[in-house]
Amino acid sequence: MRLRSLLDLDLPPLVDAERLLADLRAQRTGRLVGAVGLMALAVLAVVALPQISLVPAAGALAALGMAGIAFGRRRLLLEALLQVRDAYRLEEVSRAGSRFATRERRTRLARWMRDIIGAAEGRDVRVAYTAAALDERVLARKERLLRVAAALDGPGDELHPAGVAIVHRLLTRPSVSPLFNPLLEEQILDDALHRVEAACIGDSPRTGTVPRV
C-alpha cells in the first residue's frame, strides 16, 4: 500500500472547497449556539425539574462534540488549502495564509533548513527535532534547499505563503516528509521543492480549480 505524503491533499475543486469551509463554519457556530442554549436549560432544570436536568446537559455535551468535529474538519481543510497557491483566491485562505506566513515563522524555517544541511554535512548543529533528516537526500539537493532558505529569509515576502506552508510541512511532519521518511520516494521531495520554487512571488497562479495531488 502506498504511503501518504505531504503532497497527498485530496482536495475538492476550489468552488466546492469554498462552500465546504462556509458550511463547516456554520455547523460549528450552530452547534455552539445550541450547546449554550441546552446548558442554560440544564441550569434552569436543576432548580425547577432536577429529575430531567441531565437530558439538556447531555444534549449540550453532544452539541459541543459535534462543534469540535466541525472545527477539526475545517481546520484540516484550511491547512491543506494553505499549500495550494490557487486557493489564495479565496479571501479566507488568503487571510489565513497571511497569518501563517509571518516573518518569525519564515526566519525560523530558514534556520531549520540550514541546520538540517549543516547536520548532513557533519557539522555540530543542534536540529529542532529529534527525527533525523536523510543526509543523502539533503546533500543531493543542498543548493536547492539553500535557495529555499534564502527565499524564506529574504527581504519582503519573496516566497508566497503557499510555499511557506509546504516548507513547514516538509520540516515539521517527519512521517509524511520525504526529507525524513525513507519509505517515501525521493521524487516526492523533488515535487515538493518544485512547488516551493514555483511559489516565488512574481509567478502568476494558474487558473482552474484546486488540483488533486
Whether 104 shows a pLDDT value over 60: the answer reads yes
pLDDT tens-place string over residues 132-146: 888 999 999 999 999
A 10 A CB-CB count for 197 gives 15
- Tell me the three cell numbers of residue 149: 532558505
Confidence of residue 210 (pLDDT cuts 50, 70, 90): very low
Annotated domain spans of the chain: 14-81, 100-198
Q: Give CA 31 to chain center in angstroms.
A: 24
Instruction: Write the DSSP assignment of 122-185 as a string of letters.
Output: T-----SSSSPP-HHHHHHTHHHHHHHHHHHHSSS--B-HHHHHHHHHHHH-GGG-TTT-TTS-
Task: Return the pLDDT at 195.
Answer: 92
Coil/strand/helix, residue 33: helix
The pTM of this model reads 0.76
pLDDT tens-place string over residues 50-87: 666 677 678 778 878 888 888 888 888 889 999 999 89
d(CA 185, CA 167): 17
